[in-house]
Amino acid sequence: MSTSRRFSRLSASLSTQDSNTHHSTEQVLIPKTMRPSWKPLCLYYTQGKCTLMNEPFHLDMFNHNCSVPLEENISKSEKLRSQNIDFFLVLDLEGKVEILEFPVMIIDAKTLQVVDFFHRFVRPTKMSEQRIKEYIEGKYGKIGVDRVWDDTAIPFKDVIQEFEAWITGHNLWEKESGGSLSKAAFVTCGNWDIKTKIPQQCQVCGMQIPPYFMEWINLKDIYLNFYNRTAKGMRTMLDQLEIPLLGSHHLGIDDTKNIARVVQRMLADGVLMQITARRSPADPRSEDQLDLQLIAAVESVMLN
C-alpha cells in the first residue's frame, strides 16, 4: 500500500465515531520521517462531522484548514488587477453517472485568500445500493476514501439545501430574491460541471436548476486568452505554471484546491476574470457561449 493511500485510509478511520476502530487505529505509529510536509484533509472535517478535533495524533496527521496549502505570497503582486467580481467560487464536481462529490471554495478577488469551503459527498438518487457500492469502490476505493463517502454522503437535494444556506451566510445569494450570485461567480475547469452535469442531476432528482447556476467562468477559456496557450485540463495548467499537484487527482476537494491555486496564480499574473458562459433564460438546459474574442480584445485594451 502506498504512503498516500495509507494516510487516506487513516483519514477515513480516525474520524469515525466507531470507538473500536478509533482505538485500533490510534495504535498505528508512523515515524516522523514518513510524514509528508503536506497533510491530507480530514474528509469528515470538510463536511462538519469530525469528532476528533481534540486528538493530537489526528491533528498531527490531517489538515483541518483548507487555506493552509493555498497561502502563497502572491497577493502583493504588482500585476494584480481590480476585478468586477469580488469572490470566485471554484467548483469541481465528481461523478459521471450521478454527482458523487460537490466541493466549492471561495477565493477573495482582492486578497487572493481562501475565505471558506463547502464540501459534501453526494449519494446517488436512482442507483441501486449494489450499483452504488460498485461505483464508489471503483471511484474512491483506490484512494482509500470509500468508507468516509459511505459514512457521510447525502442526497443531492439535501446538498443543494445546505449549499444555499452556506452561500446565503456569506451574503453571496438571497433565496427570497432568487437570481444569480451577488458579486460572485462560479469558476470551473471546463463547461461540463455546470453546463452538463448540474442539469442532468437536477433532472434525475426532479428539481429545477437553481438560478445561480445560469452563468459561470470557464477557466480553460480564460487561460487560453490570457496566456495564449491551450490547457486540456487542470494538470496541464499546473504543469505549465510550475505549480505542484497537491492531494489526489479526481478527489473533488483536492482538485478544487488545485484549481483554486491556478486561479490565484492567474490573478497574481494580472488576469481579468469574466463570465464566459451563460444559460439561456428561455431554455435553462441550453448554454450560450460568450464571445471570447471580445473578452480578449477588452483585456488587450485594458492592459495597454
Which residues does the annotation mark as catalytic? Answer: 94, 250
Q: Going by C-beta distance under 8 Å and a sequence separation of 6 or more, which residues neighbour residue 47?
A: 119, 120, 121, 152
Reference 269, options 244, 242, 292, 236; nearest CA is 242
Q: Tell which phi-psi region holds residue 167, choosing left (phi > 0), alpha (psi between -120 and 50) or beta.
A: alpha
Q: Going by C-beta distance under 8 Å and a sequence separation of 6 or more, which residues neighbour residue 183?
A: 85, 86, 87, 172
Reference 70, options 118, 108, 119; nearest CA is 108
Q: Going by C-beta distance under 8 Å and a sequence separation of 6 or more, which residues neighbour residue 153?
A: 100, 120, 121, 122, 123
The grid coordinates listed for 156 are 443531492
Burial class (CB within 10 angstroms; exposed 0-12, middle 13-18, buried 19+) of 29: exposed
Cα dihedral 36/47/133/18 (nearest 10): 80
Phi then psi dihedrals of residue 76, to 5 deg = -95, 10
